[in-house]
Amino acid sequence: MNNQPTPAERRHLQRVKELDCSVCDTPGPSEAHHIRQGDQYTAIALCPECHRGPSMGWHGGRIAWRVRKMDELKALNVTLKRLLNP
């Protein structure tokens, strides 16, 4: 399986990274968090703290996520709304 993004997928990821964070609304640029690696169209716009923060981030303690009652699908919904309704 080829895990290299296509040109269209790279454009999509760049647009995601330009968005504000889908969890805490920190102004972009953001990082693209993949719900499932290799699925480029399920990337979520996250600030570094909500993505990789040791206590707040998805790859950490997820405190920010729990406080806001967010999960990956809710955050993906926010990202898609922002992409489709700029």
Residue with tokens 């968090």: 33
Quote the tokens at residue 38.
């290799």
**Residue 2 in this model has a pLDDT that exceeds 70:** no
- Give residue limits of the domains in the chain: 7-84
Task: Indicate whether 80 pLDDT > 90.
Answer: yes
Contacting residues for 24 by C-beta, under 8 A, at least 6 apart: 47, 49, 50, 64, 68
Distance CA 11, CA 62 (A): 28
Q: CA-CA distance, 10 to 44, in Å (whole number)?
A: 14
Q: What values do phi and psi take at 62, rounded to 5? A: 65, 25
pLDDT digits (tens, 9 = 90+) for 38-69: 899 999 999 999 999 888 888 888 888 999 99
